[in-house]
């Protein structure tokens, strides 16, 4: 499925180039503004320039990899409206796997290696120990688990409501609040971003682990939230399937 998806995108070289340039520019612009802001202000919420940049890179890592893996989610709504989802349901493959990971994005694949190199470079400037690196990787994996849960919930939402176009974009807007440590937000927004839409657990906490700023209860809560999120998402998906009306097919 991913090979087919790559072939389609590579076949449109001009479109691929435009999107790739756009994504690189977007990263450079935000990175540049953040850098100059930190040069002027010295620090942000008590974090040094390198720490803030590491938060930003961790956000990008999770954002880009989830977009790479779950790009097909963005094409799901037309499938539901046209009734083409029927064709997925009758095939001997997990329907959830097909609509979640059936169209990996080659453009994001190109941007992942340089992003990983940048993350390793700025992470090394924070001089983490082996335990901190290990904790970062485990919490990052937990972040991906939560991101997966959100994408499954978005898919389920599309089946149940039909009308919603922007759900996945709202998820992305919410996660984009994690470009900076959630410590900058005031309550109750901070609590909202920690527990209800756990952007803090997805993005801020792994980055804090590298800096040695996490505690054992925080890590345990993070894993608990990850497990609860994925459990709820599967339950919601199963419920949503019972509401699929096969409209227009």
Partner 1 sequence: MRKYWGVFKISFEQEFAYRLNFILWRVRNVFQILLTYFLWSTVFANPTTQIFGYDRTKILTYVFGIMIVRALVLSARAMDVSSDIAQGDLSNYLLKPMSYFKYWFTRDISSKALNLIFAAVEFSVLFVILKPPFFFQTNPVALLAFAATIILAILIYFFLLFLISSIPFWAPEIGWGSHFLVTVVIIESLSGSLFPINILPGIFQSIVLATPFPYLIYFPVEVYLGNISGPALIGGLMVAIAWTGVLWFTLNFVWQKGLRVYQAIGR
Q: Is 184 in the site for partner 1 (CB under 8 A)?
A: yes
Q: Is 191 in the site for partner 1 (CB under 8 A)?
A: no
Closest distance to partner 1 from the beta carbon of 68 (Å): 17
Q: Are 106 and 5 in contact (CB under 8 A)?
A: yes
The SS3 assignment for 42 reads coil
Please state, in angstroms and rounded to a whole number, the distance separating the CA atoms of residues 136 and 22: 29
The SS3 assignment for 44 reads strand
Closest distance to partner 1 from the beta carbon of 89 (Å): 26
Q: Is 163 in the site for partner 1 (CB under 8 A)?
A: yes
Calculate the dihedral angle through the C-alpha atoms of 212, 214, 217, 218, rounding to the nearest 10 degrees: -150
Q: Is 12 in the site for partner 1 (CB under 8 A)?
A: yes
The SS3 assignment for 91 reads coil
Q: Is 56 in the site for partner 1 (CB under 8 A)?
A: no
Among positions 1, 8, 10, 37, the unique one binding partner 1 when judged by CB under 8 A:
37
Q: Is 44 in the site for partner 1 (CB under 8 A)?
A: yes
Cβ contacts of residue 98 below 8 Å, gap of 6+? Answer: 1, 72, 88, 91
Give residues in contact with partner 1 (CB under 8 A).
12, 14-15, 18-19, 21-23, 25-26, 29-30, 32-33, 36-37, 40-41, 44-45, 161, 163-167, 169-170, 173-174, 176-177, 179-180, 184-186, 189
């Amino acid at each position: 499925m991913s090979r087919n998806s790559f072939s389609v995108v590579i076949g449109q070289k001009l479109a691929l180039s435009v999107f790739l340039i756009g994504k690189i520019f977007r990263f450079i612009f935000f990175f540049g503004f953040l850098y100059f802001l930190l040069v002027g202000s010295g620090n942000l919420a008590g974090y040094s320039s390198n720490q803030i940049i590491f938060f930003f890179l961790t956000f990008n890592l999770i954002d880009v990899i989830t977009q790479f893996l779950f790009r097909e989610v963005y094409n799901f709504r037309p499938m539901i409206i046209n009734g083409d989802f029927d064709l997925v349901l009758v095939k001997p493959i997990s329907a959830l796997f097909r609509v979640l990971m059936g169209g990996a994005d080659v453009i994001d694949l190109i941007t992942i290696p340089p992003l990983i190199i940048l993350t390793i470079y700025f992470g090394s400037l924070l001089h983490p120990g082996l335990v901190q690196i290990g904790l970062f990787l485990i919490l990052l994996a937990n972040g991906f688990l939560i991101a997966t849960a959100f994408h499954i919930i978005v898919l389920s939402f599309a089946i149940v409501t039909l009308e919603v176009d922007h759900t996945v974009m709202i998820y992305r807007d919410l996660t984009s609040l994690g470009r900076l440590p959630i410590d900058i937000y005031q309550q109750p927004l901070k609590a909202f971003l920690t527990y209800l839409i756990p952007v803090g657990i997805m993005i801020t906490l792994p980055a804090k682990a590298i800096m040695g700023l996490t505690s054992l209860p925080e890590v345990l809560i993070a894993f608990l939230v990850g497990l609860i999120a994925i459990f709820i998402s599967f339950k919601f998906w199963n419920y949503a399937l019972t509401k699929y009306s096969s409209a227009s097919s």
